[in-house]
Amino acid sequence: MEQKSLACPVCQSNKAEIAGEDVKLSGQFQDKEFLTTPLTVLRCTRCGYYMFFDKLAQFTTKEESDES
């Protein structure tokens, strides 16, 4: 199993929240429509950048900062 340390490619923040699971993206490329495999979508909590990962990636997203 592969564990990745998450780092936003934009701001290098390592904090992200799950924006969606089992998300399939549809699109078009050169007159062909395609549908991706289910993806996990993470959103950087600092800059809002969206990151897409397939099911093979594993994350440690247990830490939640409670700022209440």
Q: What is the binding site for Zn ion (CB under 5 A)?
A: 8, 10-11, 13, 44, 46-47, 49
**Shortest separation between residue 35's beta carbon and Zn ion, angstroms:** 27
Q: C-beta of 16: minimal distance to Zn ion in Å?
A: 8
For residue 5, give Cα distances in angstroms to 10, 28, 53, 61, 62.
15, 31, 13, 10, 13
At closest approach, how far in Å is the CB of 41 from Zn ion?
Answer: 14
Please measure the distance between the N-terminal and C-terminal CA atoms of the chain and give it in whole angstroms.
35
Rank residues 8 and 42 by Cβ distance to Zn ion and give the closer one: 8
C-alpha span between 62 and 48 (Å, rounded): 19
For Zn ion, the closer of residues 23 and 47 by Cβ is 47
